[in-house]
Every structure is written in C-alpha cells, then in structure tokens.
Chains A and B, each alone.
Chain A
Amino acid sequence: MMDPSPVAASTERRALWGVLAEFDTPAALARAAREVRDLGYTRWDCYSPFPVHGLDRAMGLADTRLPWVVLGAGITGAAAAIGMQGWMNAVDYPLIISGKPMFSLPASIPIAFEMTVLFSAIAAFLAMFAFNRLPQLYHPTFQSERFRRVTNDRFFLAVEAADPRFDAQGTETLLRRLGSAHVEWLED
C-alpha cells in the first residue's frame, strides 16, 4: 500500500467492541442464547425484529424491576389528586356548593383515579426509556450493514469485548458452531 488512507488509519486505532452473529430463525437464536448463557457470558445481547417468546429465560435475564416505578408513580398520583382537591376546595379557597361538604372523598374519586392512571402511564413510558438507556441514536451494532435487517427479518446475537470471557477468535468459533452463518467483528 502506497499511502494509507486517513480512514484506514483511524479505524486501526479503534478498539474492538464485540462480535455480532446472525441467525435465521428465532428458534436458532434461542438455542444459541441458552448456550451462551450456560457458558457464563454476561455482557451480551440478542436482537430480533419482534419479542421472541421464551428468549428472556434463554438469556437468563432477571425479571425487570420496572413495575415498582409504576406502582410508586400511581400512589403518588392518587395522593396528589386527593391532596390537591382537599387543599384547593376546602383549605386554600373553601367553596360552598349547594350546602355540600367542603371536602368529600367520594366526589374526589374520579379525579383521583384519572391522576393515578396518568401518573402511572407517564412513569411507565419514561421508565421504559430510562431502563433501556434510550434514546441512544448511535450504537456499535449500527455499523453493520447486515444489522439493518434486525428490524425486518433477521436475528442477531452480539457478545461484547468487555465481557470477561470474551476472546475474539474463540467467541467467533463458538457462535459459528451454534449455527450462525455470518459472524462479524465490530469496532467501538
């Protein structure tokens, strides 16, 4: 090579992020995931166009703690609604309406219910992004041309170089043995 291009030079300095293996079917992906899990890998992930049933267990993922966030938000919403109605109509500016009590719990229930749902739904929505660390507009897997089909019809498994058991050659051999027709190395 006469003159190394600046692009080639810059890629040379970039560290290996991991290996990405492609699978044809969800069953093949789940089989590979079980093996990778049993070998004790920790920094790895599966990618699929739709949620594959049983893959959470095949990957050995612990149950998500996300619902607790939603429960907390729901309780907050209910308490805020009751507190708001009581304080506004009975304390801060008492409103006399047809001789009814300034504050009554039954009349506060519809708004308490709506605010419970509102707080819970917003919390669930935001927690989905927070727990998944999204939005993340760049990810090393996006370098792969083939990975574009992950949102169409292909299934992928990636093991990160940061995994203590990672060994580029060995991991690639493993993934090929597990039935991947195409394995590629990705840089960070």
Chain B
Amino acid sequence: MSVVGTTAPSADPWDNTSDDPTRRAPLVLGAADYASVTEKVAELAERRRPPRAWYIAFGVSLALTGLLGAMILYLFTTGVGVWGLNSPVGWAFDIINFVFWVGIGHAGTLISAILFLFRQSWRTGINRFAEAMTIFAVICAGLFPAIHVGRVWLIYWVFPLPNQMQVWPNFRSPLLWDVFAVSTYFTVSLLFWYMGMIPDLATLRDRATSRVRQRVYGLFAMGWRGSNRHWQNYERVYLILAALATPLVLSVHSVVSFDFAVSMVPGWHTTIFPPYFVAGAIFCGFAMVLLLAVPARQWFGLEALITLRHLENMNKIMLATGMIIGYAYFIEFFIAWYGGNVYEHFAFVNRALGPYAWSYWIMVTCNVIAPQLFWSKRIRTSPWVAWGICVFINVGMWFERFVIIVTSLSRDYLPGSWGAYKPTWVELCTLLGSFGLFFTLFLLFVRFVPMVAMAEVKAVLPQADAHASPNEPERRATGTLAVEKA
C-alpha cells in the first residue's frame, strides 16, 4: 500500500496535504459532486443574512472608509501641507501606500493567470477572490497618486488628452509609464475577473427565486447558456487573457520600480529593482490572499473548496518569494560595497544603522526571518498560525517601501540638504482608511458574488473527465476523495 519514505496518508479526512506521489491529492474535499459545489457556493451569495462576523467587519470597514473620505476632503480643501512631506522627503506615505497596494494586487493575477498557464488546477478554489482582491487593491493603489498631486483638479494632465495649453505629457518619464501600466493592469484584471464570472452569474440567475435577482444576475450573465460553441471561444479568450496578464503583471511592478531605478538617488538607482519588486509584490500579495482566505473559509464553511492544501501551497510560495527578497536585500548590500560608490555605500549603511534603522530591522524581521517558520509543515498547515505570519509579512512589506523611499530621500548626496520625515495624523488615518476601503469592497464581493469559481471547480472534479469510461471505474476514481479511500 503505502510506499516507504513518503508521508503517510493522514487519517484526518480534511487533511489533503499528503505528498505521497502514488496518490493524487484531491482538490475538493467532502462528498463533492457538481450540485454540491453549486449549492455550497451559490448559497453564500443567496442567503438573506450573512454571519454576524460579516456585519461587524463591514461596519468597521465602512467606518474606516468614511475616515478615508474625510481625510481626502481635508487634504483637498486645505492642501498637501496637511501631510508631513517636505524637502528633501517629497514622497512618503502617498507613494509607499501606492506601491504597497499595487504589490498586493499581484498575487491575484499570479494565481489567476500564471498558475493557469502552468496548469495548476488547485488555483480554481482561490482564483475568484484572489482576482477580486487584485481589483480592490489596485483601486486603493490608484487613489494615492491621484490625490498626491497637489492640484487634484488637474489630474487629467497625466493622460495624453488635448488641452488648452496644447502640450502633451512627457513620454520619457517613468511616472507616465506608470499611468499606462496601472490603468492597463486595472482594466485587464477587471475584464478577466468579469469574464471568468459569467458562467457563475448564469448559475445564480438560474437559481434565482425573486424576479429582481433573476433580472440583475441575468443582465450580468449576458444570456450565458453553457453552449459548447460558446465555451470554445470562451476558453480560448480565457487562455489569451491569461497569456496577456502574465507578462503584464511582471511589467507593472517593473514599471513601478522604474519610478525609482531611473532616478539618480542613491539606493534607488539599481538594476536589481524590477525583479526584486516583482518578487516582493507576489510575496505580500500571497500574504494578503491568505489573510482573507483563512477567515473567509472558516466563516463561510468553505473548508472543502479552499482546502489545507491550498493554504499550504500558498505558504510554500511565500517561503520561496521570501527567500528571493532576503537574497535581494543581501545583494543590494553586496553591490553597495563591491560597486565602490561612496554614496551608494553610505545609503545602505544609513539604512541599517541610521536614524531609520528601526524600520529597516522591522522589515528584515518580518520579511526574511518570519517566513522561515514556513519550513515547518506543521506551521504551513495551521491556518491561523500562518495567518499571523502573513500579518507580519504585510507589515514587513509596507516597511520595505518605507525604507526604500524615506531613507533614500532623507539623506542623499549633500549633507547640507539632509532632512527628516515624520508622518502626520492625516497620513496615518489615510493609510488606515485605505484598508477600510479595501475591506469594504471585499466584504461586498463575498456577499453578492460567487466567491469561488463554481464552473472551474466542477471542471477539476474527477467525475468531470469525459474520457473516463464507465467500464473502468478505477480510472474514474483517480484522485477522488481521501474520505472514500480512508
């Protein structure tokens, strides 16, 4: 039966993390068939009252969104002086938050597009809400560059629109590349998310018990009827969108890193930035996916669809990307020494030992040391412990951007122009408020939209294999439920 030297199959039917290569781990647990998947997921969007935890979370999030609105109003009516920005630190919380939120989004695209191209069928349990997370994170991200410009009523100058001065934007500036990269990223993510949802919206339409629900879901389902002639084009477009989103997601954070790397500031002007930024984005994005997935699967009883194996796989990706981050930190220091440039050398010594050393060591502790706990399988498969580590990772990645931006700007070439930066309460409340906006949107999403891609999960069930012949029951049983085999 069991092969020597492999993990023994666990007796727990909800543990599908066995690495026994002779048995394919099931992707969906419980006595799953098509109807039970539909029932489980659609019921969540149909229930009259969500759990009490939802109301509490929504109330808090909505209040924080209100705080965000108030802070933005205060900013607009008074001016950017309400923030702690100064010369030389002209970028701080605004751009830190922008980079942080854009980075969060990247894991959603990685799960939906890159894992799709690699035929990682476990992605089907988590891709829908990871994609939703991407869209909401990019909304939060887009907010910050828009409000930080000072004269916010002229924000349309970033777009190449005809204007009364008859001048065009400077296309050789990475800041303009950013406008194109982030708006393309948002658009493509939204199209991908919506298209993936059409078959599931049709399911909600067909299950609707009220006329209003039938109409609304029916309108968004576009008359989808599961036709195979439609599926043919649909699947091809899905593949094309995945193939387009994959280089796109790598380009977006690369372009964000160009905002720094193309400038001449010591600590910014390095070629390692694009890959280092992309790895960091995926790292903290996965942490955010887990941060959302662990409570969601518990509150909504989705343990059969978002299994321990999903969580463990994500923890492994965080371990790997965390190691890349650690390596990047090391290489930055090595090059600062090996490159022989005194300013570069100073910038890095200043990061680790200067006035902002505390932020540097928070970053290292959270991003390099904390994820090392994921070497332990016990920790990888304990959802709430992993959740705690993910909080650390998100804090660490926020501080990474703080370190990069604030330490570099506050002390560059000329000691005479050095300065210090301290956030005001307005900046802190704006950051807090952006979390409120993010969670408000996410909670609305889990309330009204199927949060697991039902059609995709059904397609990876063992019984969905049309080639299986009824004469070969053992073939059909491949990868079936651990419950049955145990």
B396 within 8 Å of A (CB atoms): no
A-B interface contact total, Cβ < 8 Å: 214
Could you tell me which residues of chain A, from 45 to 80, have a CB within 8 Å of some CB in chain B? 45-56, 58-59, 61, 64, 66-67, 70
Name the residue in A33, A45, A147 with the highest tally of chain B Cβ atoms < 10 Å from its Cβ. Answer: A45
Number of interface residues of A (CB under 8 A): 70
Using known A-B contacts A118-B184, A121-B241, determine if residue A64 contacts B232 with beta carbons closer than 8 Å.
Answer: yes
Is the beta-carbon distance between A128 and B237 smaller than 8 angstroms?
yes
B contact residues around A47 at 8 Å (CB): 225-228
Using known A-B contacts A48-B226, A97-B172, A139-B225, determine if residue A131 contacts B459 with beta carbons closer than 8 Å.
Answer: no
Is the beta-carbon distance between B199 and A49 smaller than 8 angstroms?
yes
B52 within 8 Å of A (CB atoms): no
A contact residues around B172 at 8 Å (CB): 89, 97, 100, 104, 107
A174 within 8 Å of B (CB atoms): no
Is the beta-carbon distance between A95 and B168 smaller than 8 angstroms?
yes
Is the beta-carbon distance between A46 and B168 smaller than 8 angstroms?
no
B222 within 8 Å of A (CB atoms): yes
Is the beta-carbon distance between A114 and B466 smaller than 8 angstroms?
no
Q: How far does the Cβ of A58 sit from chain B's closest Cβ, in whole Å? A: 8
B contact residues around A135 at 8 Å (CB): 222-223
Task: Please give me the residue from chain B that is nearest to A155 by CB atom.
Answer: B226
Interface of A is mostly: helix
B contact residues around A129 at 8 Å (CB): 222
A141-156 CB mask vs B (1 if < 8 Å, else 0) is: 1100001111111001
B202 within 8 Å of A (CB atoms): yes
Interface of B is mostly: helix
Could you tell me which residues of chain B, from 86 to 143, have a CB within 8 Å of some CB in chain A? none
A contact residues around B171 at 8 Å (CB): 85, 88-89, 107-108, 111
Q: How far does the Cβ of A99 sit from chain B's closest Cβ, in whole Å? A: 12
Q: How far does the Cβ of A102 sit from chain B's closest Cβ, in whole Å? A: 9
Could you tell me which residues of chain B, from 366 to 391, have a CB within 8 Å of some CB in chain A? none
A178 within 8 Å of B (CB atoms): no
A contact residues around B227 at 8 Å (CB): 45-47, 132
Task: Give A149 to B219 CA distance when docked, in angstroms.
Answer: 18
Task: Please give me the residue from chain A that is nearest to B39 by CB atom.
Answer: A152
Is the beta-carbon distance between B251 and A56 smaller than 8 angstroms?
no
Task: Please give me the residue from chain A that is nearest to B198 by CB atom.
Answer: A134
Option from B168, B206, B234, B455 in Cβ contact (under 8 Å) with A93 = B168
B contact residues around A147 at 8 Å (CB): 225
Task: Give A153 to B206 CA distance when docked, in angstroms.
Answer: 12
Q: How far does the Cβ of B466 sit from chain A's closest Cβ, in whole Å? A: 4
B432 within 8 Å of A (CB atoms): no
Name the residue in B160, B173, B188, B235 with the highest tally of chain A Cβ atoms < 10 Å from its Cβ. Answer: B188
Is the beta-carbon distance between A151 and B199 smaller than 8 angstroms?
yes
B441-482 CB mask vs A (1 if < 8 Å, else 0) is: 000000000000011101100011111111000000000000
Please name 12 further chain A to chain B contacts, defined as beta carbons within 8 Å, in addition to the given A55-B466, A139-B225, sorted by A numbering.
Answer: A47-B225, A50-B458, A53-B464, A66-B236, A67-B236, A104-B172, A107-B171, A125-B241, A141-B225, A148-B206, A152-B34, A152-B203
What are the 4 closest A-B residue pairs judged by CB atoms, nearest first?
A153-B34, A88-B168, A135-B222, A50-B459
Give the B-binding residues of A (Cβ under 8 A).
Answer: 25-27, 29-30, 33, 45-56, 58-59, 61, 64, 66-67, 70, 84-85, 88-89, 92-93, 95, 97, 100, 104, 107-108, 110-111, 113-115, 117-118, 120-122, 124-125, 127-129, 131-132, 134-139, 141-142, 147-153, 156
